[in-house]
Amino acid sequence: MATDLRLAYAEIDEELFDVDQIPMTSRDMRSVGEMLVDVDYLARQLLMDIDGDAAGTLLRSWPTMVAAAEDLWASLPGRRPGVDERDGPITSLSAQAATIETSLSGRTAWPGQGPTSPRIDQMTQTFLNAASLVRRYGAEIRHEQPDAHRDLEAARTRIMHGLYLTAHAVNVALHEHGRDRVNDARSAGRRIHLAQHRSPYAITPTGVWIDRISACENTARSYLTDRFPQALAGEAMRPIDDPDRLAQALANWDIQTHRALARDLQPSNILLITRTQGLIAGASMVLVDAAETAGLLERYDRLVPAIADAGRSWSNLASRWGDLAPPGARLEEPLARAAADVRAAYREITHGKTTLASPGVIADRPGLPQAVRATLRAIEAGSELAVVVAEKADAPDLTGPARALSRRAHNDVEAGLATAPAFGRDVVWVSPADILAKRMVPVPAPVSETMRAASSATSAAAIAASAVAALHGLGRGTSPVGSDRRMGHEVREPHTLSGTRPSGPSR
């Protein structure tokens, strides 16, 4: 039998940490509700990061995501016999997506055959994981009870909202793709035919795809109109039953980031690391505020500003690494899963159903002392992580998408963030031919300069925040992993959909 290297790594981890306290990372241990919330989060992030170069990969991924969402929808308990009018919107959306998939198959014209979007694929897999979980435990949900019925309606609404956001992201990408094509043609002095509908930049064949994705977006929007806030008000909130969950998630995140950074990591994974570190900083400020409200921490004027500065630096660095990530770049699965677990663990204690909870509400939640200790430890550890990430910015062979790097180079020079060339500011940093061909190109000098500067600023801010967090009393004296949890403890199975999670270690 071949040696499983993952088991070898696990044995090393057992020597470094108490085996009873390390969370299992081979499975997705989030609840169904947490998975649906995370799809919403991922769709929003996609919408903020979208550009025209990603249009083809997003379009190719869309039908598969809709099919996974329909599968989850069909698995929800409480379906009425025969035709259920509640299934009409998802059935229509699935039919629209199926025709798109048929049109894409075997097509030689744009977008043609090629890679799918790893970001939509991640949402697709989350839907599939949730469907598997519902099929396993759905029989335990008493769907005839009013609370369970409202929770199921909230689940349907979240599924449709994730699809709506994603369809809108695909639509925006198609518009941006058309804009890029038009601008490229005008720069080269070429004439280009525009389709006079929906967008001033709709070109053949982009205009047809805009029409078809817009139809999908409108189907999802019609379901959500006058429904979204009311439906989510009925979503069940599972009580916090594992006060050490955040500590365990952050411990696993620390392990996975260092494993990933020890290798020749792709920019898409460094983007995930830096973005998650920014999220940790933002959530830490919320927890510190709640801890001060609860009297767990003395008010300390330097703590929150230092964490806020570190968070801004991490986010700025993330935006720069995002320029280097090509549209089809894949995430390392253990790293992506650890990041999702961190998001879910923070949200469990910092949020209500749809919004951030007030400091007073968070202060009354169980596990706040453990969460504050864990998050301050994570802030402390962030200084070392920032130094390691900064080393990646010094790599001489960094490359990225031509269009994104061209824009960043010109913007950095115009903003005075990078040294302007002695012979004038109007310099072509990336060849127009490379931009038109969507090639990966070496990082231009201004981008490299500002990347190193942003990395240094992040290191300095993270070190300052680490020092302040280390001086704070609650950040010391305990293990970053909780001492009360045992891996053999079985989860008490809930009777609402949002709280349904796999059996196994308590989370």
pLDDT in tens, 92-104: 999 999 999 999 9
238 occurs within a structural domain = no
Q: 199 has which bridge partners?
A: 197
CA distance 119 to 61: 9
16 occurs within a structural domain = no
> Do residues 463 and 346 both lie within one domain?
yes
> Do residues 417 and 375 both lie within one domain?
yes
Query: What pLDDT score was predicted for residue 241?
Result: 78
Query: What pLDDT score was predicted for residue 149?
Result: 80
Q: Give mean pLDDT, residues 368-381.
A: 96
CA distance 135 to 127: 12
- Of 41-50, 87-96, 103-112, which range is least confident? 103-112
Query: What pLDDT score was predicted for residue 80?
Result: 64
Distances (CA, A) of 469 to 125, 275, 313, 324, 406: 37, 20, 17, 32, 39
- Of 26-40, 65-79, 169-183, 185-199, which range is least confident? 185-199
Is residue 377's pLDDT more than 60? yes
Domain end, chosen from 233, 263, 297, is at 233
Is residue 251's pLDDT more than 70? yes
372 occurs within a structural domain = yes
Domain end, chosen from 188, 212, 233, is at 233
Query: What pLDDT score was predicted for residue 336?
Result: 95
* Tally of CB atoms within 10 A around 437: 10
The per-residue pLDDT for range 271-294, each reduced to its tens digit, is 999 999 999 999 999 999 999 999
Return the DSSP state at 490: B
Q: Give mean pLDDT, residues 310-334.
A: 94
The confidence band for 136, taking pLDDT boundaries of 50, 70 and 90, is confident
| Domain, as residue range, for 214 | 32-233
The per-residue pLDDT for range 403-438, each reduced to its tens digit, is 999 999 999 999 999 988 876 657 889 998 999 888
Q: State the residue for tokens 């979240």.
A: 158
Is residue 25's pLDDT more than 70? no
433 occurs within a structural domain = yes
> Do residues 294 and 411 both lie within one domain?
yes
The full 3-state SS of 211-258, as one line of letters, equals HHHHHHHHHHHHHHCCCHHHHHHCCCCCCCCCCCHHHHHHHHHHHHHH
> pTM for this structure?
0.83
Q: Give mean pLDDT, residues 292-312.
A: 92
The per-residue pLDDT for range 220-248, each reduced to its tens digit, is 999 999 888 888 888 878 788 789 999 99
Query: What pLDDT score was predicted for residue 207?
Result: 83
What whole-number percentage of the chain has pLDDT above 90? 59
> Do residues 79 and 223 both lie within one domain?
yes
314 occurs within a structural domain = yes
Backbone angles phi, psi at 388, to 5 degrees: -65, -45
Structural domain count, the chain: 2
Is residue 256's pLDDT more than 90? yes
The full 3-state SS of 283-336, as one line of letters, equals HHHHHHHHHHHHCCCCCCCCHHHHHHHHHHHHHHHHHHHHHHCCCCCCCCHHHH
Tokens in use for 71? 């599968």
Q: Give mean pLDDT, residues 101-116.
A: 86
The per-residue pLDDT for range 379-388, each reduced to its tens digit, is 999 999 999 9
Query: What pLDDT score was predicted for residue 504?
Result: 45
Query: What pLDDT score was predicted for residue 208?
Result: 86
CA-based nearest residue to 28, from 120, 130, 117: 130
Q: Give mean pLDDT, residues 318-322.
A: 96
> Do residues 309 and 447 both lie within one domain?
yes
240 occurs within a structural domain = no
Q: Would you give the distance in Å from CA 319 to the centre of its chain?
A: 14
178 occurs within a structural domain = yes
Burial of 316 (0-12, 13-18, 19+ CB in 10 A): middle
Query: What pLDDT score was predicted for residue 197?
Result: 61
CA distance 163 to 160: 5
305 occurs within a structural domain = yes
Domain end, chosen from 233, 258, 291, is at 233
> Do residues 306 and 387 both lie within one domain?
yes
Query: What pLDDT score was predicted for residue 16?
Result: 39
Is residue 322's pLDDT more than 70? yes
Is residue 78's pLDDT more than 80? no
> Do residues 437 and 412 both lie within one domain?
yes
Query: What pLDDT score was predicted for residue 497?
Result: 61
> Do residues 191 and 98 both lie within one domain?
yes
The more confident residue out of 204 and 375 is 375
Contact 248, 485 (CB under 8 A): yes
What whole-number percentage of the chain has pLDDT above 70? 82
> Do residues 154 and 295 both lie within one domain?
no
Query: What pLDDT score was predicted for residue 472?
Result: 77
Query: What pLDDT score was predicted for residue 143?
Result: 62
> Do residues 224 and 269 both lie within one domain?
no
> Do residues 136 and 178 both lie within one domain?
yes
Q: Give mean pLDDT, residues 72-85.
A: 77
The per-residue pLDDT for range 450-461, each reduced to its tens digit, is 999 999 999 999
> Do residues 179 and 283 both lie within one domain?
no
Is residue 15's pLDDT more than 60? no
Q: Give mean pLDDT, residues 470-484.
A: 49
